[in-house]
Amino acid sequence: MAKETSGTDRSYTSLRKAQATKRSLKTIYDDKQFWVVQQGKLQRSQGRPQKTEHLFRVVGEKLPFAALEEIRADLRQLHLGMEGVYVAHDSMGCPRYIGRGRIFGRLKARKKAHPLELEYFSFYVVSEKKHEREVETLLIRAAGFLLEFNTRKKRVGLESGNVRDYEAGTVFYERQRRKGVVKRKRLG
pLDDT in tens, 66-77: 999 999 999 999
Q: Which residue has the higher pLDDT, 188 or 90?
A: 90
Q: Which residue has the higher pLDDT, 1 or 71?
A: 71
pLDDT at 147: 78
Between CA 60 and CA 87 the distance in angstroms is 10
pLDDT in tens, 88-103: 999 999 999 999 999 9
pLDDT at 71: 94
Q: Which residue has the higher pLDDT, 106 or 9?
A: 106
Cα 139 to Cα 64, 86, 117, 151, 153: the distances in Å are 20, 10, 20, 15, 11
Between CA 179 and CA 56 the distance in angstroms is 41
Q: Collapse the DSSP code of 139 into the 3-class scheme (helix H, G, I; strand E, B; otherwise coil) and give the result.
A: helix
pLDDT at 4: 37
**pLDDT-above-70 percentage for the chain:** 66
Q: Where are the beta strands (DSSP E) in 31-117?
A: 36-43, 56-64, 83-90, 95-102
Q: Collapse the DSSP code of 118 into the 3-class scheme (helix H, G, I; strand E, B; otherwise coil) and give the result.
A: strand
